[in-house]
Amino acid sequence: MNFHWGPFSPMKVLVADKISSKGVEYLRQQPGLAVIEAYGSSPEKILSLVGDVQAIVVRSETKITAEVFAAAPRLKVVGRAGVGVDNVDVEAATERGVIVMNTPSGNTIATAELTFTHILCGARPVPQAAASMRAGKWDRKNHAGIELFRKTLGVVGLGRIGGEVAKRAQAFGMRVVAYDPYLAPSRAKAMQVEAMSLDELLAASDYITVHMPLTDSTRHMIDEAALAKCRPGVRIFNCARGGIIKESALIEAVKSGHVAAAGLDVYEDEPLPEDSELRQLDAVTLTPHLGASTAEAQESVGIEIAEQVADVLKGGVIRNAVNMPSLDAATLRTLGPYLDLGEKLGTLVQQMGPKQIDLLHITYWGKIVDLDANSVTRAIQRGFLRHISGDSVNYVNAPLALQRLGVKVQVVKSTDEVDYTELIAVEAVAPDGSRHAAQGTLIGRTGKPRIIGLNGREVEVEAQGKLLVIENHDEPGMIGYVGSLLGKDRVNIANMSLSRQEPGQTALMVINLDSEPSPAARRELKSHPAIKLAKFVQI
């Protein structure tokens, strides 16, 4: 990644969404940069502007799609002044070698404070009372509230923002309970919160606030079934991501009185449609995605993203990248294959093991021992967290995110002889002592990642795409049974690796698939008496 930096060839930075004026001014002051401000541009206008730009800065309004990347051949970096990158096609960026960066910590306090504002408005109907006063009324009876003191707040997702909300609740004398399937008990104890299952939290809480990323597993986490498990009169809040709470279910629960009050800053569709029934419910306080909308947060993220973008264009350090580590370009070229392998091993181990672990043990052999293994360790941690923390995790904040979950990381650089020029082993250790491990190496001149070990068994499969891992009693006909079942499900097998330790004991199949098996096929696999484990993973 070699860029020329000089007054005779200015690099263009398109600021597509309004960020802090100090951030824009910082970019203007950098030698060799030309700043184009194009706030509120239509998608067509953005496409007409990106043909010769090297950097784009956005907040959450402008969408940087695959079409935009295709129209921007000189683009080197996209900077998002905020936490998520929902409006950036990261996969398309990665394919074209474009760095995507965000500012993961700049709005933590702002979002936590807005969440608590919603909680307070759920307890004391201040917005409704203020509207009544503006209408010329003096209605004390219909605007009575309840206290937070000695009530129970359930925090779903105890990351950075959830942790800050918990602190504020404790200051109000609230009992705080939390559900986070990846949070170690020791971490919960240190934060003075009670860890429990989601069902237990729903039943125990007077107030519930969600702070999870939006993933396949968290979408509509709070739906009709979840709300039915809540105590009557519960109050629910979402300042995290739209879609975690199923809006249609919430509307019905508020109308029936089962949910006494709710507060939302994020929605399944944004902007919130004018005809949304949420707008008609007096017990629901709505704000237009204001989580990061404080002067301090906007100034912080605006300056931060400007500095990060300028650093990349100058060929300097890469910070807070969501699709590559914080490295200079020369080091990145050398470490790239190792980073790819490490991230995939981390993702594989996380999906194979239990949700809660105490320790992530990483061992390196061969050439990687003499390189910057710290960056590879961060790639493994990011891969491990990919299906847990979503877009908010990157190579910079992954270690801290694991620490918040109470997961320790141990790294060993081994000089023992192994059968491979380079080898990486990742092992997750659960609280009950069970271990779940994967080993990988690089093959060929291009350094293609390969999985060569899984839970102590030798395998050899390509480290990409969709994998079906099956552990079964070693008996005749199992390969045919699995192949027939997948064929009936219209799932094509791309490759298969078989492993066993002793005839008639336990055998292992690792199968590369072209598509995901249906839920019915998975249930049928798991119901077979000889199959001990059938796990679909995606890396």
* Contact of 11 with 313, CB cutoff 8 Å: yes
User: What are the φ and ψ backbone dihedral angles of 64, each rounded to 5 degrees?
Assistant: -105, 95
Continuous segment of H or E residues that includes residue 27: helix 21-29
Rounded to the nearest 5 percent, the helix, strand and coil shares of the chain are: 35, 25, 40
CB neighbour list of residue 477: distance below 8 Å, 6 or more residues apart: none
User: Which three-class secondary structure state does DSSP give residue 405?
Assistant: coil
CA 297, distance to chain mean position in Å, is 21
Q: How many residues does the chain have?
A: 539
Question: 10 Å Cβ neighbour count for 110?
Answer: 23
Query: Around Cβ 108, how many Cβ atoms within 10 Å?
Result: 19
Nearest to 394 by CA among 305, 321, 311: 321
Phi, psi values for residue 338, rounded to 5°: -65, -40
DSSP designation for 518: P
3-class DSSP state of 143:
helix
Q: What is the dihedral of CA 237, 105, 390, 224, to 10 degrees?
A: 0
Give the whole-angstrom CA distance, residue 272 versus residue 426.
44
SS (H, E, C) 265-295: CCCCCCCCCCCCHHHHCCCEEECCCCCCCCH
Q: Where does residue 386 rank: exposed (0-12), middle (13-18), buried (19+ CB within 10 A)?
A: buried
Helix segments in 390-517, DSSP class H? 398-404, 478-488
**Burial (CB count within 10 angstroms: exposed 0-12, middle 13-18, buried 19+), residue 409:** middle
Residues designated as active site? 241, 270, 289
- d(CA 389, CA 181) in angstroms, rounded, equals 11
Q: Are 389 and 159 in contact (CB under 8 A)?
A: yes
Whole-angstrom distance, CA of residue 118 vs CA of residue 383: 34
Tokens of 16: 């597509």
Decide: 242 and 267 in contact? Cβ < 8 Å.
yes
User: Which residues on neighbouring strands pair with residue 284, listed in sequence order?
Assistant: 262
- How far does Cα 234 stand from its chain's mean position? 28
